[in-house]
Copies of this chain bind each other. A is one copy, B any other.
Amino acid sequence: MEWKTGITKVEPNNLVTKGYRQEDLIANVSYSSVVYLLLKGELPSKEHGRMMDAILTACVDHGITSPSWLASRTVASCDVPLSTAVAAGVLAIGDAHGGAIEKGAKILQYGIKRMHDENKSMNEIAAILVKESKEQHKRIPGFGHRVHTSDPRTKKLFSLTDEMKIASEHVELSKCIEKNFEKNGKKLPINVDGAVAAIISDMGFDYRLGKAFFFIGRIAGLTAQVYEEITREKPMRKMFDIECKYDGPVERDLPEEG
Contact = CB atoms under 8 A, between A and B. Distances in A.
A185 interface: no
Contacts of A252: 19-20
A86 to B, nearest CB: 6
Interface in A218-258: 219-221, 223-225, 227-228, 230-232, 235-236, 238-255, 257-258
A30 B250 CA distance: 21
Contact of A67 (B4, B153, B236, B249): B236
Given A156-B23, A220-B216, A149 B12 contact: yes
B29 A32 contact: no
Contacts of A102: 82
B15 A62 contact: yes
Interface in A172-186: none
Contact of A93 (B57, B78, B235): B78
A147 B57 contact: no
Interface stretch (A33-41, A106-114, A121-129, A130-138): A33-41
Interface residues of A, number: 133
Interface of A: 1-10, 12-32, 34-35, 38-39, 41, 43, 46, 52-54, 56-58, 60-65, 67-68, 70-71, 74-75, 77-88, 90-99, 102, 146-153, 155-157, 159-160, 206, 208-209, 211-212, 215-217, 219-221, 223-225, 227-228, 230-232, 235-236, 238-255, 257-258
Contacts of A53: 29-31
A90 B83 contact: yes
A206 B97 CA distance: 25
B74 A10 contact: no
Contacts of A65: 10, 238
Given A4-B232, A43-B258, A241-B242, 16 more contacts: A1-B238, A4-B246, A4-B247, A6-B247, A9-B251, A17-B60, A18-B249, A22-B58, A22-B152, A25-B254, A26-B57, A27-B159, A35-B220, A38-B221, A67-B78, A81-B94
A163 to B, nearest CB: 9
